[in-house]
Amino acid sequence: MLLSVAWIAALRGIGVRLRPDGIEDRQAFGSIFVPWEALGAPPAILDTWWGSILRGERQVNLVLTDPALVRKRGLRYGPLNSLTTIGVDPGFLAGVIGEYADRPDLRSAIGVPEELARF
């Protein structure tokens, strides 16, 4: 069972991806998509009991002004406003999300090598 979960995760790709239209958080069996328009205040880094104790991770919690805009697919673990921080520093991720939330003019450059170099 554990091997099949790892195989599915490897094929799908897991983790957070920033896109010009929003934030995607993929897990092994499901995902969420949070459009930029759904975000409110800057995100917070949270030590959660399931993250810090079970996996040694911290979560980035988003402040959602319009949770109805969030799209969920499949079986996704955790609250809709919580992003997994696998392979990325939670403070860095929260800072980047906060900057794009505050600066809509920069979102179209997400994924461009020059924009990545800026961080």
pLDDT-derived band at 90, boundaries 50, 70, 90:
confident
pLDDT at 104: 93
Task: Spell out the domain ranges in the chain.
Answer: 2-118
Of the two residues 17 and 59, the one the predictor is more confident about is 17
Joined tokens for residue 42: 């800057």
Share of the chain above pLDDT 70, in %: 76
Rounded to whole angstroms, the Cα distance separating 37 from 48 reads 26
pLDDT at 18: 94
Average pLDDT, the chain: 80
Rounded to whole angstroms, the Cα distance separating 29 from 14 reads 10
* pTM of the predicted model over 0.85: no
Segments in the chain forming alpha helices (H): 2-12, 90-102, 113-118
Nearest to 15 by CA among 6, 7, 5, 24: 24
Q: Residue 110: which residues within 8 A CB-CB, separation 6 or more?
A: 18, 19, 20, 100
What integer is the mean pLDDT of 79-93? 84
Q: What is the pLDDT of residues 2-15, one digit of tens each?
A: 555 455 445 557 88
Q: What is the pLDDT of residues 37-80, one digit of tens each?
A: 999 877 766 555 444 444 556 678 888 889 999 999 998 877 88
pLDDT at 109: 93
